[in-house]
């Protein structure tokens, strides 16, 4: 289980949080992409090995949205930021 250090509530287990997905670059202009590229952007989530940035909502706590820098293999959390 992940232990997430909320900047407002302190260390809490991941059961208090809801996963919000990867912290992505801004949404691309659909007119600048092919249909296949647009469908891929909408439906194929990134699943890299290594460090990723993810969004987590402290649903059973303060309600803040956090951005975590987490290693997908070790689940080590290197950074927690409020907001984007």
The pLDDT profile of the chain, 84 residues, written as one tens digit per residue, is 899 999 999 999 999 999 998 887 788 999 999 999 999 998 988 889 999 999 999 999 999 999 999 999 999 999 999 976
Residue 16's domain spans which residues?
3-82
Structural domains of the chain, count: 1
User: pTM (2 decimals)?
Assistant: 0.81
pLDDT at 83: 73
Structure tokens at 59: 């649903």
| CATH number of the domain where residue 65 is located | 3.30.2270.10
Reading the block at residue 82, the tokens are 């409020």
- Those residues with Cβ within 8 angstroms of residue 71's Cβ, 6 or more apart along the chain or in another chain: 50, 51, 52, 78
């Amino acid at each position: 289980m992940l232990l997430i250090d909320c900047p407002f509530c302190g260390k809490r287990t991941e059961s208090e949080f809801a996963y919000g997905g990867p912290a992505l670059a801004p949404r691309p202009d659909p007119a600048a992409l092919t249909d296949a590229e647009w469908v891929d952007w909408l439906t194929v989530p990134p699943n890299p090995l290594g460090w990723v940035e993810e969004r987590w909502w402290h649903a059973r706590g303060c309600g803040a949205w956090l951005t975590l820098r987490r290693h997908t293999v070790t689940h080590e959390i290197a950074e927690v930021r409020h907001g984007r």
